[in-house]
Amino acid sequence: MIQAKRCSKAVGIEAVRALAGVMEDKRATKGILVTTSWVGNDSRDFAARHGRMQIIECEELKFLCKEHLDLDVLISLPKSPPKRS
């Protein structure tokens, strides 16, 4: 299952939980949330606990577009995503 979110601010945990619910309903073995923005720590923690979910955020999405499609994409956000440690 793939869920795509085009957002200018953080994607809420509701979207991650909704993907988990659809995965269970459809008996999907993997779920991927792709977003032009980012997710919060609670969403990241939920996906990690679930174990079958992958989250692709802004910077990784740009990297994948360049690597696989040879496209330099520009994703403009009103504020920068928080730095991950």
pLDDT tens-digit readout, 24-69: 999 999 999 999 999 999 999 999 999 999 999 998 999 999 999 9
The rounded distance, in Å, linking the Cα atoms of 33 and 21 is 13
Look at residue 80 in the predicted model and tell me its pLDDT: 66
Residue 77 predicted with pLDDT over 80: no
pLDDT at 82: 72
Q: What is the rounded end-to-end Cα distance, in angstroms, of the chain?
A: 28
- Torsion of Cα atoms, 50 then 24 then 54 then 37, to 10°: -110
Neighbours of 75 (CB within 10 A): 15
